[in-house]
Amino acid sequence: MTERVTLITGASAGIGAELARVFARNGHRVALTARREDRLATLAREITAAGGKSPILIPCDLEDHGARDKIASRLADADVDVEYLVNNAGFGLFGKAIELDHEGQLGIIDVNIRALTDLSLRFSDQVIRNRGGILNVGSIAGFLPGPGMAVYYASKAYVLSFTEALRKELEPHGVRVSVLCPGPVMTEFQARAGFAPGFDSTMLNVSAADVALQGYRGLMANKRAVLPGFAPRGFILAAVGRFQIRKP
């Protein structure tokens, strides 16, 4: 019987690394992707030292369109099937869209939208066969436009819409599909985005570990959306309006 794995993107730090830890603690063998091979290797040693199954490491940059082929090839070579897919990789850039680096903003689309969509569709047959699930990491930012981070906010709106539609399509197959929408969380995301915390830093009060644990539990409970931590009232109202009008 082919061994089943949980594939997690963006697993070298932050929420992605915490998701790897929580899945491993719960008996899943994880396949981890990220740009930084040294970080992945350190995390893999930590997981095995804690008694977890040996992770499969796939260093790659999802801005590279060939990365998804590399992931599929590595998993095929390891003779494993994807049971759970966690699309966590993503980044944003802070500033006016017309002033930010053009290629950098297209890179946001490549990672946050294109790679997430490709992997979800590419491994859907395996997830269905194993009656597993897909957890897409969105953001509370996906519920409204975001001047100052226009492309990032728009990308997360796509994640919300795509996840909800995919959930409906895969429901007859017994597949769990959830979207994890944290508010601001103190991770390396802020530094890469070029965001200098000021007043907004008071919102960074939920740990990546807490977000990951709530995401894992939400997926296993087959929740439509998981909204951990603090979020402004207007965001929550929008989220509730979208996801509570139908039964989860």
152 is catalytic: yes
Q: Is residue 203 classed exposed, middle or buried when 0-12, 13-18 and 19+ CB atoms within 10 A define those classes?
A: middle
Instruction: Tell how strand 56-59 and strand 80-87 pair up.
Output: unpaired
Distances (CA, A) of 18 to 10, 131, 186, 226, 228: 11, 24, 13, 16, 14
Amino acid at 84: Y
DSSP letter assigned to residue 4? E
Structure tokens at 140: 């509370």
Amino acid at 111: V
Greatest CA separation for the chain: 54
Alpha-carbon span 52 to 45, nearest angstrom = 9
Phi and psi torsions of 8, nearest 5°: -125, 125
Sign of the alpha-carbon torsion through 48, 133, 159, 142: negative
- Choosing from 84, 152, 153, 216, the catalytic residue is 152
User: Which residues are annotated as catalytic?
Assistant: 152
